[in-house]
Amino acid sequence: MNMQPSAPTIVPQEQVRRVLRRERPDRVVYAPNYWQWFAHHQNHGLLPPEIAHCRTQLDLIRHLGLDVFSRNIYCDQQHCWFGGLTEEIWDGVEAREEVRIENRDRVITRTYATRRGTLTERQRYVFADSTLVQEKFLLDDTEDPLGALEELLRARRWRFLPERYAREQERVGHDGFVVAGELWSPLKALHLLAGAVNSTYLIADDENRVKELLRLHEAAQLDLVRQMAVAGVPAMMAMDNLDAAFHTPAYLEKFSASFYEQASHIAHAHGSTFFIHACGRQRVNLKLMDSLGVDGLEGVAYPPLGDVQLDEAMALTSDRFLITGGISAMETEKFQSAGEVRRYLEDLFGRLRPYSHRFMLAASCNTSIRTPWKVIQWFRDAWQELSR
């Protein structure tokens, strides 16, 4: 038999790199987010026998033969929604954290002793749902919330931990890239400290002062962007849940556009890329994000969870704008057969074929804990069949 040498196998990391360079990969990149799904099934002893050997989300992704482009591959989901590659530095504020277990839930209380008094926030990791929720915001019940905000933002900065990033990227290896999901915009900073409702009240009461104070956060975060870019991180992400319900075009222009534009410029100057995590409605913000130099959005939602189809989002943006997404809880919870999954992906891939150089198949935010294991397998099988 006359054997012809086979073509060299292109590792997943190179397929992801091609999309980051706006080059067409050999196949559709499939970089799912199983963070909550895996943790829930592991915590509750629900992992199917086939994947009982998996100890981490990365193990599951490797078992399925998929790609890695992830900002939560390294996160402790019982402690934070995102982050883990930075050290928070306080100057003039004493920060403490206490953790207690309450009916299997993990309750995290953080206190900050400032010159204006002690501020407290509380989060709860709900064991039954394997999710972290905010029970109390730092600026709740504060007599002078803007004064407290000033104390916090003047005192806080971050140090990037390049050695930690290097360990995580080495763990992922040729399977893809670790995304440094360590950033958040000035508007998101206010949201995290005060909540969405009280943030709008604070802006309405004294917009100019809020804008001035949020510049402190912007400066500290841009310093962190520089640290990550200099360290050679190939992709970084602002974890903003960029939904137009709160991130309106007017709010973005006033409070976050400068940060997005400068962060993108710094990233590009060092050969990196800058993404924003997106949820909910995106249509009204797409062209603005593109114009600011942002490289792309992670997890774009489409109807009924969002307001724009993925191919529409591609058509509304320039040929440099990247989008990840395509699978939401609407599909993973309702599809009842492999045929449904195959038809769904066949239609999606057909509509996105002209944009394959700037698309990665992924979860629109996360994978529902109610997703049956067989559905995850069906998506893998259909992707393997259709993406080449």
Query: What whole-number percentage of the chain has pLDDT above 70?
Result: 98
Number of separate domains in the chain:
1
Whole-prediction pTM: 0.96
CATH number, domain containing residue 377 = 3.20.20.210
Residue 262 resides in a domain: yes
Backbone angles phi, psi at 317, to 5 degrees: -120, 170
Residue 118 resides in a domain: no
The 10s digit of each residue's pLDDT in 34-76 is 999 999 999 999 999 999 999 999 999 999 999 999 999 999 9
Residue 106 resides in a domain: no
The 10s digit of each residue's pLDDT in 300-348 is 989 999 999 999 999 999 999 999 999 999 999 999 999 999 999 999 9
Residue 202 resides in a domain: yes
pLDDT at 112 over 90: yes
Least confident of 254-258, 298-302, 374-378: 298-302
pLDDT at 194 over 90: yes
Residue 372 resides in a domain: yes
How many angstroms separate the CA atoms of 90 and 139, rounded? 18
Q: How far apart are the first and last CA of the chain?
A: 27
Residue 293 resides in a domain: yes
Query: What whole-number percentage of the chain has pLDDT above 90?
Result: 93
Q: Kindly state the average pLDDT of the residues 229-251.
A: 96
Residue 333 resides in a domain: yes
What is the pLDDT at residue 8?
Answer: 55
Residue 115 resides in a domain: no
pLDDT band (50, 70, 90) for residue 1: very low
What is the pLDDT at residue 364?
Answer: 78
What is the pLDDT at residue 9?
Answer: 73
Which residue, 103, 104, 75, is CA-closest to 366? Answer: 75
Q: Which domain holds residue 254?
A: 12-87+144-386
pLDDT band (50, 70, 90) for residue 387: confident
The 10s digit of each residue's pLDDT in 258-285 is 999 999 999 999 999 999 999 899 999 9
